[in-house]
Amino acid sequence: MPFCVGFEVVMDTGPSTWPFGQVPPAGAHAPKIEDVGGEQTWIDVLYATLERGLSPLSWTNYLYLTIGGTLSNAGISGGSFRFGPQISNVHELDVVTGNGDIITCSTKNNSEVKWLQMLYSDFLTFSKDQENLISFNKSKQNSVPDYIRGILLLNHPPLDLSFYPESDQPKITSLVTRFGIIYVLELVKYYDNESQKIVDKFLNRVYTEELALRSQGLWDRPHPWLDLFVPKSRISDFNEGVFKGILLKQNLTAGYSQIYPTNRSKWDGRMSAITPDEDVFYLVSLLYTSGFDQLKAYQTQNQQILQFCKDAGIQIKQYLSREETLEQWVEHFGPKWKVFEERKAAFDPKHILSPGQRIFIKQ
């Protein structure tokens, strides 16, 4: 696939742009589009835009990733249900093809924050509330939350409750012990541009987790993560078979697990990212940090999850797929495979770009 060298990200409607990291001239209209290099990270974009009271509409869960990296595979977070993935919020994208050409692509051419956390012991109620929150219509835009995410609290050590008030932590611990799994619904609503510290803290929470792991010497270890798209119609079966039937029964460190729904209508069908064929689907992210002694156990658990879905007929799609054979990649892309193959031939006929994924093996 082409390599991203720069892009313009939409933050609001308006005509003006400014180079990344530069202050607009005095008297200029408030900029609405930022011109950013693909090598920059999203945390840099966050700080640069908040200084001017602006923010991109769509984010990724971990901000210390390069822009070119997340855009190459959509870029998703709890705001994707409303604004779509990050790639759907790009005004223009400059890419280098495998032929050495630089081309510009676009759709027309090649706050104060209210942050709520609600805890559930019943998965059906938890999932239905999430689905209701994303089923907005244009007449209710002002009342729609800007960010929705679900978190799993499993009765496995360590139970990290650092993002909850200290006074509530004993009660939450008691609930997790009693029910085995507590489902947490996080909801955010932006009201104005005055609360930079709150926005920064909320969007950059994964980095806080990184710092905690680094302080324990645990960050530079394997990360056997598994990211899945699960169709809405089978999410209850997934909860019973995976969350309760596999994760809760395994004697492994809990890690960090999140689950939230998104609207398929916000995804551009021309993207290479593959989603379930339903109007609403869930992102399930199982984010673990493992010592080398437990890596095999986590990999086995991931395979058990994939096998369960296959046996149960749950038509999941991997967000960051790790297929081993050409046949598996063809199955993953489904109806999009032919177009994907044609684009590879047109823009990278010598198979120079992205060899590590082994999607195309030059004969």
- Residue 193 in this model has a pLDDT that exceeds 60: no
Residues 36 and 172 in one domain: no
Residues 202 and 231 in one domain: yes
Query: 176 Cβ partners below 8 Å, 6+ apart?
Result: 153, 154, 155, 159, 182
> Exposed (0-12), middle (13-18) or buried (19+): which is 195, by Cβ within 10 Å?
middle
Between residues 14 and 189, the one the model is more confident about:
189
User: Under DSSP, is residue 111 helix (H, G, I), strand (E, B) or coil?
Assistant: coil
What six digits make up the tokens of 239? 């909860």
| Contact present, 344 and 302 (Cβ < 8 Å) | no
Residues 84 and 228 in one domain: no
Q: How many domains does the chain have?
A: 3
Q: Using alpha carbons only, what angle is made at residue 305 by residues 221 and 79, rounded to the nearest 5 degrees?
A: 75
CATH code where residue 19 lies = 3.30.465.10
E strand segments, 129-268? 147-154, 181-190, 226-231, 256-263
Query: 181 Cβ partners below 8 Å, 6+ apart?
Result: 121, 123, 152, 153, 154, 155, 243, 244, 248
Q: Which of 105, 133, 155 is the last residue of a domain?
A: 105
Of 122-126, 148-152, 156-160, 178-182, the poorest mean pLDDT is in 156-160
Q: Is the peptide bond before 231 cis (omega within 30 degrees of 0)?
A: no
Residues 154 and 240 in one domain: yes
Residues 261 and 342 in one domain: no
C-alpha span between 55 and 46 (Å, rounded): 7
pLDDT tens-digit map of 276-305:
999 999 999 998 878 788 899 999 999 999
Domain that holds residue 340: 326-357
Between residues 177 and 109, the one the model is more confident about:
177
C-alpha span between 257 and 254 (Å, rounded): 8
98 within some domain = yes
Residues 308 and 286 in one domain: yes
